[in-house]
Amino acid sequence: MTQRILLIVSGGIAAYKSLELVRLLRRKGIAVRAVLTESAEKFVTPLSLGVLTEDHVFGQLFDLKEEREIGHIQLSRQADLIVIAPATANILAKMANGIADDLATTILLATDKPVLAVPAMNVRMWHHRATQRNLERLRADGIHIMEPDDGDMACGEYGKGRLPEPEAIAREIERLLALPPLPDPLTDQPDFAPPPNKGGLAGRHVLITAGPTHEPIDPVRFIANRSSGKQGFAIAAAAAQAGARVTLVAGPVALPTPAGVKRVDVETAREMLGAVEAALPADVAIMVAAVADWRTADAVGQKIKKDGSGAPAPLALVENPDILATLGTSSSRPALLIGFAAETQNVTEHAQAKLAKKGADWIVANDVSGDVMGGETNAIHIVTADGVESWADMPKAAVASRLIEKVANVFRAD
Ligand code: C5P
């Protein structure tokens, strides 16, 4: 079934980026209906948004025609997720205080759907205590909030407050769409429904490795692999959303840091091991990185030249430390230790062997003979002492959410 977003564009200079966001979402097969606040119309026209969404663009609460044909309740009812991008300090303040004085804020007050706010504003407005107070309230109300990026501002200042890149927003939207639906506060028993957005990992430290490692040969060459880091980053985002304190030790990848995650960038396997050990203790470690098994015995300081004989330069390799296995026998071994296993054949058999060899609790095995490395979806088998659980192919964000849900269940059962 097509998933549907109601995109509220509020009036900031970054509003023009909403057009690119719509384009990306449509390309992923997500339907978008847009609502523009009055000030947003100064930055982007209903016509351009209408062309990209292939839908009517809504704006006026008191436009009788719009209310008759499709009321504000209907607009929210027909969406799986409401996204406010950009969300100005003004709309966040109204939301935090339950003000409903236009179509956008009325929808936001009346909705029972999950809401993602993507703030963008001047750095001083972002750091203002009023804005930070409002954000705190909104988080407590279960609103998902993306952290703005750092950088140059349209107003000439520098700092935090830039709208995250549309690709990052689209990824966060996909992740939220993959989460199980929220309980309906009007009909669900509070005793049985977990509080929205509190998450099952509150108070836990989750340590994640992601991406490849680069093992230098000389100053310009290195040994690497095709890992994109997408699956590990998605898991870090899902763990943070579930309330965990997350440390993400990332190999060289070009991915934005998920909201609420502490990221430590490393290059080599040995640096990754050092960063992992420095981040301990952790309640859960999920080792998703495709760590290079070997490094060169002696990386040289100068670029290796052809010697004219036609013979290739000798490349002596030595084995890298196994980070997962090191944690498996560590005195500060996390209570739940999860490894990944990228295999091209006999996937579950190899994963079963790895479980014992590495001293892990779960091995998440995937077949990488297709385009999993760098691709958008993943089909996994979770191998534990109790057996094998296989999940159908699904977006990496959905794998991440379900995996984190399974991790949280371990701690709920404690
Ligand atoms: O042995 P293999 O590389 O298939 O094992 C994969 C699992 O072990 C992954 O969880 C990976 O992050 C971890 N690993 C590691 N250190 C290595 C090699 C693999 O932590 N040197």
* Ranges for all domains in the chain classified under CATH 3.40.50.1950: 4-177
Instruction: Assess whether pLDDT exceeds 70 at residue 65.
Output: no
Q: Which of 155, 193, 202, 278 is catalytic?
A: 155
Compute the distance from residue 264 Cα to the ligand 1 centre, in Å: 18
Could you tell me the end-to-end alpha-carbon distance of the chain, in angstroms, rounded to an integer? Answer: 37
Q: Cα separation of 374 and 364, whole Å?
A: 17
Instruction: Assess whether pLDDT exceeds 90 at residue 280.
Output: yes
CA distance readout (Å), 236 to 6, 212, 329:
26, 16, 24
Q: Give residue 70's Cα distance to chain centre.
A: 33
Burial status of residue 272 (CB atoms within 10 A of its CB: 0-12, 13-18, 19 or more)? buried
CA distance readout (Å), 179 to 6, 198, 240, 397:
17, 13, 13, 9
Task: For 42-56, write each residue's pLDDT tens digit.
Answer: 999 999 999 999 999
Burial status of residue 20 (CB atoms within 10 A of its CB: 0-12, 13-18, 19 or more)? middle
Residues 38, 67: contact at Cβ < 8 Å? no
Residue among 214, 249, 322 to mutate when testing ligand 1 (max atoms within 8 A of CB): 322
Q: Cα separation of 30 and 2, whole Å?
A: 6
Instruction: Assess whether pLDDT exceeds 50 at residue 188.
Output: no
pLDDT band at 197, cuts 50/70/90? very low
* Ranges for all domains in the chain classified under CATH 3.40.50.10300: 205-412
| Token representation of residue 207 | 């340590």
Instruction: Assess whether pLDDT exceeds 80 at residue 189.
Output: no
Task: For 344-363, write each residue's pLDDT tens digit.
Answer: 788 888 999 999 999 999 99
pLDDT the model gives residue 93: 98
Task: For 11-31, write each residue's pLDDT tens digit.
Answer: 989 999 999 999 999 999 999
- Is ligand 1 within 6 A of the CB of residue 322? yes
- Is ligand 1 within 6 A of the CB of residue 233? no
Mean pLDDT of 268-280: 96
pLDDT the model gives residue 67: 54
Amino acid at 290: A
pLDDT the model gives residue 68: 56
Phi, psi (degrees; rounded to nearest 5) at 152: -70, 140
CA distance readout (Å), 113 to 100, 143, 144, 165, 240:
17, 10, 11, 24, 20
Compute the distance from residue 157 Cα to the ligand 1 centre, in Å: 44
- Is ligand 1 within 6 A of the CB of residue 323? yes
CATH 3.40.50.300 is the classification of domain 205-412: no
Compute the distance from residue 344 Cα to the ligand 1 centre, in Å: 15
Mean pLDDT of 278-291: 97
- Closest atom of ligand 1 to CA, residue 327: 20
Residue among 272, 291, 318 to mutate when testing ligand 1 (max atoms within 8 A of CB): 291
- Is ligand 1 within 6 A of the CB of residue 15? no
- Is ligand 1 within 6 A of the CB of residue 366? no
- Is ligand 1 within 6 A of the CB of residue 231? no
Q: How many CB atoms lie within 10 A of CB 292?
A: 22
pLDDT band at 332, cuts 50/70/90? very high
Residue 109 annotated among the catalytic residues of the structure: no
- Is ligand 1 within 6 A of the CB of residue 251? no
Compute the distance from residue 323 Cα to the ligand 1 centre, in Å: 7
Residues 323, 347: contact at Cβ < 8 Å? no
pLDDT the model gives residue 300: 81
pLDDT the model gives residue 31: 95
Mean pLDDT of the chain: 89
pLDDT the model gives residue 182: 55
Task: For 362-410, write each residue's pLDDT tens digit.
Answer: 999 988 776 666 678 888 999 999 899 998 888 889 899 999 999 999 9
Q: How many CB atoms lie within 10 A of CB 107?
A: 26
Q: Cα separation of 162 and 121, whole Å?
A: 6
**DSSP string for 168-221:** HHHHHHHHHHTSPPPP-TTTS-TTTSPPTTT-TTTT-EEEEEESB--EESSSS-
Q: Cα separation of 75 and 143, whole Å?
A: 18
- Closest atom of ligand 1 to CA, residue 358: 8
CATH class assigned to 4-177: alpha beta
> CA angle, corner 286, sides to 380 and 364, nearest 5?
20
Q: Cα separation of 249 and 9, whole Å?
A: 34
Compute the distance from residue 200 Cα to the ligand 1 centre, in Å: 27
Q: How many residues does the chain have?
A: 414
pLDDT the model gives residue 64: 47
Among protein residues, the one with the nearest Cα to ligand 1's atom 5 is 341
Residue among 266, 277, 324, 380 to mutate when testing ligand 1 (max atoms within 8 A of CB): 324
- Is ligand 1 within 6 A of the CB of residue 7? no
Q: Cα separation of 335 and 77, whole Å?
A: 42
Instruction: Look at the block and give the residue holding tokens 């930055």.
Output: 43
- Is ligand 1 within 6 A of the CB of residue 405? no
